[in-house]
Amino acid sequence: MSAHTETAHGNEELNYLNWKTGIWSWLSSTDHKRICFLYLFAIMIFFIGGGIAALIMRTELAFSGAQIIKDPHTYNVLFTMHGVFMIFLFVVPGIPATLGNFLIPLMIGAKDVAFPRLNLFSFYVYVIGALIGGYAMLNPVDTGWTFYAPYSTTTDTSVSLMVFAAFILGFSSILTGLNFIVTIHQLRAPGMTWMRLPVFIWASYATAVIQTVATPVVGMTLLLVIAERMFGAGIFDPSKGGDPVLMEHLFWFYSHPVVYIMVLPAFGVVGEIIPVFSRKPLFGYKMVVISSMAIAAVGFIVWAHHMFVAGISDFSAKFFSIITFLVAIPTAIKVFNWVSTMYKGSISFKTPMLYAMAFVFLFMVAGTTGIYLAMLGVDVYYHDTYFVVAHFHYTIQGGAVIGLIAALHFWFPKMTGKMYNETASKAAFAILFFGFNLTFIPQFILGMDGMPRRYYDYPAQYQTLHTISTIGAYLNGFGYTFALINLLWTAKFGKVKAPRNPYNSVSLEWQTQSPPVHENFTEIPVVDQDPYHYGTPNHKHA
Amino acid sequence: MLGLLGEQGSEFAHKVDFANDVVTIISVICTVAIVGAMLYFAVIYRQRDGKDHETPMIEGNNTLEVIWTVFPTLVCIWVAWLGYDAFVDLRSPPADAMEINVTGRKWAWDFQYKNGKKTTSELVVPVDQPVKLIMTSKDVLHSFFVPVMRTKMDVIPGRYTYEWFKPIKTGDFQVFCTEYCGNEHSKMLARLKVLPKAEFERWLADDSEERKLAALKPSDLGKELYAGKQCISCHSLDGTPRVGPSWLKAFGKEGELADGTKYKMDENYIRESILNPQAKTVKGYPAMGMPSYQGQLSDDEITGIVEFIKTLDGSQKVEVEAVAPKKSAAAAGATPVERGKALVHDTGNLCITCHSLDGSKLVGPSFKGLWGRKEKLSDGSEVVVDAAYIKESIWKPAAKIVEGYGPVMPAMYEGKLTDENLNDIIEYLKTLQ
Amino acid sequence: MSNAAIVDHNVPPGEPPIIHHMDSHTAYGAAKLGMWLFLATEVLLFAVMFCSFAIMRYYHLAEFHDASHHLNLWAGALNTAILLFSSYTAAVAVTKAQQGDNAAVVKNFGISVFCGFLFLIVKTYEYTGKAHHGMFPFVWNSNFYEYKNFLGIYYCMTGLHALHVIIGMIVMTIYGIIPATKNRFSGKYYTPVELGALYWHLVDLIWIYLFPLLYLVG
Nearest CA in chain B to A385: B178
Distance CA A157, CA A134 (A): 14
The reply to whether CATH 1.10.260.40 applies to domain B336-430 is no
Query: CB pairs below 8 Å between A and C: how many?
Result: 124
Which residues have CB under 8 Å from B32's CB, separation 6+?
none
Output the pLDDT for position B347.
Answer: 62
Q: CB of A241 within 8 Å of any CB in chain C?
A: yes
CA dist C167 and A521 (Å) reads: 38
Question: Which pairs count as long-range contacts for C14-20, CB under 8 Å and 24+ apart, including other chains?
Answer: C14/C100, C14/C183, C14/C184, C14/C185, C14/C186, C14/C187, C14/C188, C14/C189, C15/C186, C15/C188, C15/C189, C16/C188, C16/C189, C16/C191, C17/C189, C20/A111, C20/A112, C20/A519
Map out the domains of chain B as residue ranges: 13-90, 98-206, 209-311, 336-430
% of chain A beyond a pLDDT of 90: 82
Chain A (141-170) residues lying within 8 Å, Cβ to Cβ, of chain B = 142-144, 148, 150-151, 154-155
Establish if C42 belongs to a structural domain: yes
The answer to whether the CB of A113 falls within 8 A of the CB of A32 is: yes
| Subunit contact A182:C153, Cβ cutoff 8 A | no
Q: Among A231, A248, A254, pick the best mutation site for testing chain C contact (most C Cβ within 10 A).
A: A231
The residue of chain A nearest to residue B339, with distances taken between CA atoms, is A461
Phi, psi of C101 (to 5 degrees): -90, 80
Give A-chain residues touching B187 at CB under 8 angstroms: 72, 457
> Higher model confidence: residue B287 or residue A526?
A526
Identify the CATH number of the domain in which residue C129 sits.
Answer: 1.20.120.80
**Closest Cα of chain C to A315: distance in Å?**
18
Does residue C15 form part of some domain? no
Neighboring chains of C (3 or more beta-carbon pairs < 8 A): A
A391 chain-B contacts, CB cut-off 8 A: none
Q: What CATH number is given for B209-311 in this structure?
A: 1.10.760.10
The pTM of this model reads 0.83
Q: Which residues of B fall within a CB distance of 8 Å from A273?
A: none
Residue of chain B whose alpha carbon sits nearest to that of A457: B186
Instruction: Chain B: give the shortest CA distance to residue A205, in Å.
Output: 23
Cα A434 to Cα A56, A348, A395, A441, distances in angstroms? 20, 21, 16, 11
Q: Residue A2 pLDDT > 50, yes or no?
A: no
Question: CA of A451 to nearest chain C CA: how many angstroms apart?
Answer: 35
Cβ-Cβ contacts under 8 Å, C41 against chain A:
174, 178, 212-213, 215-216
Query: Taking chain C, what is the end-to-end CA distance rounded to the nearest angstrom?
Result: 58
Nearest chain C Cα distance for residue A188, angstroms: 11
Residue A328: pLDDT above 50?
yes
As a whole number of angstroms, the distance between CA B171 and CA B338 comes to 18
Rounded to an integer, the average pLDDT of A150-161 is 90
Q: State percent of chain C over pLDDT 70.
A: 93
> Which value, in Å, is the radius of gyration of the alpha carbons in chain C?
21
Lowest mean pLDDT among A29-33, A59-63, A455-459, B275-279: B275-279
Q: What strands lie across the sheet with B131-137, from one edge to the other?
A: B118-120, B108-112, B98-105, B131-137, B161-165
Q: Which residues of chain A lie closer than 8 angstroms to C140, CB-CB?
A: 232
Q: Which residues of A touch C149 (CB under 8 A)?
A: 233-235, 240-242
Question: Cβ contacts (< 8 Å) between A325 and chain B: which residues?
Answer: 76-77, 80
Interval A475-516: pLDDT, tens: 999 999 999 999 999 999 999 999 999 999 999 999 998 899
Identify the pLDDT of residue A432.
97
Reported confidence tier of residue A539, pLDDT bands at 50, 70, 90 = low
User: How confident is the model over A294-302, as a mean pLDDT?
Assistant: 95
Q: How many domains does chain C contain in total?
A: 1
Interface touch C46/A220, C-beta < 8 Å: yes
Q: Which residues of chain B have pLDDT under 50?
A: 329-330
Give the chain A residue whose CA is nearest to the CA of B78.
A375
C interface test, pick of A26, A33, A182, A240 with most C CB neighbours within 10 Å: A182
- In a domain, residue C186? The reply is yes
pLDDT-derived band at A542, boundaries 50, 70, 90: very low
pLDDT range class, residue A420, cuts 50, 70, 90: very high
Does the distance separating the beta carbons of A187 and C26 come in below 8 Å? yes
Average pLDDT over residues A150-158: 89
C13: in domain:
no
If we measure between CA atoms, which residue out of A149, A145, A47 comes closest to residue A98? A47
Chains with 3 or more CB pairs under 8 A to chain A: B, C
More confident residue, C29 or B231: C29
pLDDT band at A6 (very low <50, low <70, confident <90, very high): very low
The model's pLDDT over A195-217, given as tens digits with 9 standing for 90+, comes to 999 999 999 999 999 999 999 99
pLDDT score, position B292? 75
Chain B residues with CB inside 8 Å of A285's CB? Answer: 59-60
Nearest to C148 among A114, A224, A232 (CB): A232
Closest CB from A30, A217, A240 relative to C3:
A30
Whether residue A220 and residue C48 make contact (CB cut-off 8 A), yes or no, is: yes
Q: Do A72 and B183 touch (CB under 8 A)?
A: yes
Helix, coil or strand: residue B108 = strand
Residue C3 belongs to some domain of the structure: no
For the domain covering B98-206, report its CATH number: 2.60.40.420
- Paired strand residues for B146: B151
Which pLDDT score is estimated for A3? 38
Chains A and C touch each other (3 or more Cβ pairs < 8 A): yes
- pLDDT score recorded for residue C141: 59
Q: Fold match between B209-311 and B336-430?
A: yes
The domains found in chain A, sorted by start residue, are: 23-511 (1.20.210.10)
Domain that holds residue C98: 20-217
| Residue of B8, B66, B68, B288 to mutate, testing the A interface (most A Cβ within 10 Å of its Cβ) | B68
- Give the distance from residue A272's alpha carbon to the nearest chain C alpha carbon, in angstroms: 26
How high is the pLDDT of residue C5?
64
What is the predicted ipTM? Answer: 0.92
Residue C123 is assigned to a structural domain of this protein: yes
What distance in Å separates residue A323's CA from the closest CA in chain B?
10
Inter-chain Cβ pairs, chain A and chain B, closer than 8 A = 284
**DSSP symbols for chain C:** --GGGSEE--S-TTSPPEETTB-HHHHHHHHHHHHHHHHHHHHHHHHHHHHHHHHHHHH-HHHHHHHHHTS-HHHHHHHHHHHHHHHHHHHHHHHHHHTT-HHHHHHHHHHHHHHHHHHHHHHHHHHHHHHHTT-STTS--GGGGGGHHHHHHHHHHHHHHHHHHHHHHHHHIIIIIHHHHTT--BTTB-HHHHHHHHHHHHHHHHHHHHHIIIIII-
Considering only the top CATH level, what class is B13-90?
mainly alpha
